[in-house]
Structure 1
Amino acid sequence: MIELVINQRRKNLGGFEVGRVLPDARRRMVGPFVFFDHMGPADFAPGLPRSVDVRPHPHIGLSTVTYLFSGEIMHRDSVGSEQPIRAGEVNWMTAGRGITHSERFEKGRLEGDVLHGIQTWVALPDGEEETAPAFSHHEQDDLPVYGEGGLSARLVVGAAFGARARVRTYSPMFYTHWVLQAGAVAGLPAEYPERAAYVATGEVEIEGQAFGAGRMLVFGPGDTIAFKALQPSTVMLLGGEPVGPRYLEWNFVSSSRERIEQAKADWRAGRMRLPDADHDDWISLPPDPTPPANPMS
């Protein structure tokens, strides 16, 4: 059954908009997924200013998952990675005890581009929050695909639908890209205690209700969820086992508020290494918000 419907909130990032879905005041996490942004679609004309780029910034306690429907982003980080990501591929960056990275739209600047995709953050479980930072890139051939009856699907991360992606994860989870033709039907099995679906394009019917683009449906445990595409649709499925309460402030995720304060102090004092290939400019720590009384879960 549908427990909650979350509408994206549009955010201007200084050159293009994203639809922010998680965290939401009513539902902070789904499984280990602690952050979910729908990027674009954004049309970039040649000559795009560098101010639109996401300059170097830090993370702790999480893995970032970048997945594109179209466009290209150049990733550089403090463990020496320099990797463009394109549609249908996966950039999985594990921050662990600390990493910095940038995301630049270099193809769009030179040639023009249409950027459209999803960026999520996955909270690391207890015992892995301070793991060594790492980066991996996976092309389309690394990701299991399946489909029938008007459904084509790609397993992006984790294990689901009888398949397992090659991306290394730290807790039980799944993340799947569905493309449905109009009239196609498909089911999300009751494999994990926390599950959600985000409609990126099109419109689907679930439990007799229609849901269009920009909406996330959070499901209760225990039932297979039936989908019917009312028009050609793109849906991202996500969830897994919960990892426990987490604090989230700026780009930092942790089970400990003191650890986040230490990360803020380290970034402010310049103690976090910048990417070797992109170290001339960076994003400053924003002013302190009012700290939450309790971690989110």
Structure 2
Amino acid sequence: MLDLVINARQASISAGFDVKRILPFRERRMVGPFIFMDHAGPVRVPATQLQSLDVLPHPHIGLSTVSYLFGGQVMHRDSLGVEQIIRPGEVNWMTAGSGIAHSERFEDPATLAGGQLEMIQTWVALPEADEETAPTFTNYQPHELPIFTEPGVWMRLIAGDAYGLRNGVQTHSPLFYLHVVLQPGTRFGLPQGHPERGAYVAKGQIEVAGHFYSAGQLLVFTPGQDPVIIARETTTLMLLGGEQLGPRFIWWNFVSSRKERIEQAKADWAAGRIALPPTDNHEFIPLPQDKSRPASSASAAPEPLS
């Protein structure tokens, strides 16, 4: 019923910003097309340290980044010239394709009030035919993301299709991604029609087949099985999965079906051939001094930054 349980590990995405890293994992690089997942927060630092959380401009290729907030707000700037604040209930969907650079800044001191800053970022690998597509960015507002409720269940469809819900979020392959809140005692099933499915426990505790799982754990389910999830307390889940795209190489912030493409991206960033955001171009994250080769989706890889 369960292929694997992944326990989040601590990772650093900036000098003062540690996160819980879920994907990639040495024994399971992807769930459907999802190749990366970070859970940041709740963040509790003095307002005077707000700038230390900033993620400086950095590059991506071959993927879409998906940012979703539980609390607080983040300022996104990218090399397309986009400046967009993301708030809870919205989705920032950035498709890197052939190459993009972006930053994530925490500029509003109110963001840290009461430790409310909390976000999930995932990366979705692109099909081979779309890996070199032109980069794009779209912010989706809450009214564009359908919500479903029934006794004990609240859910928002972030992207894809599940439980009969669909929205206009532009994806490149069949997938699903949902924010689900369950009340204590609620019994809940996984969405049908997707070969790979996972459930990340962001808050609370669930029971599956007599075993208990808590915050910071990603459950990867066996294809074809239909387990029942029971909430043992008020629980927040992120459900994700879809069709597998095939092996991918990953190094730092780069994802590709071709190892040589990642080597090219490394050279492009080091040489300044990937443009910086026009309104955030005075500093950036340099290429890591790591001499390792890109790793495939079936093997180990250097820890990426968001």
- CA RMSD, Structure 1 to Structure 2 (Å): 1.5
Higher alpha-carbon deviation: 179-188 or 228-237? 179-188
SS in 1 for 2:204: strand
1:288 shift after superposition? 2.4
Name the CA shift for 1:258/1:268 in 2 (closer, same or farther; >3 Å).
same
1:221 shift after superposition? 1.1
1:184 shift after superposition? 1.4
Aligned pairs, number: 297
How many Å separate the matches in 1 of 2:111 and 2:32? 39
Give the TM-score normalised by the residue count of structure 2: 0.93
Give the TM-score normalised by the residue count of structure 1: 0.96
Match for 1:35: what amino acid?
Answer: F
Counterpart check, 1:158 vs 2:154: no
| Aligned equivalent of 2:32 | 31
Name the CA shift for 1:118/1:111 in 2 (closer, same or farther; >3 Å).
closer
Counterpart check, 1:286 vs 2:297: no
Match for 1:11: what amino acid?
Answer: A
Question: Any stretches of 5+ residues in structure 2 without a counterpart?
Answer: 300-306
SS in 2 for 1:231: coil
Name the one with the larger strand percent: 1
Does the aligned pair in 1 maintain the 2:175–2:242 contact within 8 Å? Answer: yes
1:207 shift after superposition? 1.1
Q: 1:213 aligns with which of 215, 234, 245?
A: 215
Q: 1:117 aligns with which of 116, 119, 138?
A: 119
How many Å separate the matches in 2 of 1:293 and 1:264? 14
Name the CA shift for 1:235/1:41 in 2 (closer, same or farther; >3 Å).
same
1:224-239 to structure 2, matched below 5 A, reads 224-239=226-241
Match for 1:7: what amino acid?
Answer: N
How many Å separate the matches in 2 of 1:116 and 1:185? 26
How many Å separate the matches in 2 of 1:135 and 1:189? 28
How many Å separate the matches in 1 of 2:240 and 2:89? 16
How many Å separate the matches in 2 of 1:64 and 1:18? 16
Match for 1:6: what amino acid?
Answer: I
Q: For each residue in 1:262-284, what CA deviation from the matched residue of structure 2 results, as whole angstroms up to 9, or x when unmatched?
A: 11111000111111111110000
Does the aligned pair in 2 maintain the 1:54–1:102 contact within 8 Å? Answer: yes
1:1-297 to structure 2, matched below 5 A, reads 1-13=1-13, 14-108=15-109, 112=113, 114-291=116-293, 294-296=296-298
Q: For each residue in 1:94-125, what CA deviation from the matched residue of structure 2 results, as whole angstroms up to 9, or x when unmatched?
A: 00000000000011378746211210000000
SS in 1 for 2:199: strand
1:290 shift after superposition? 2.2
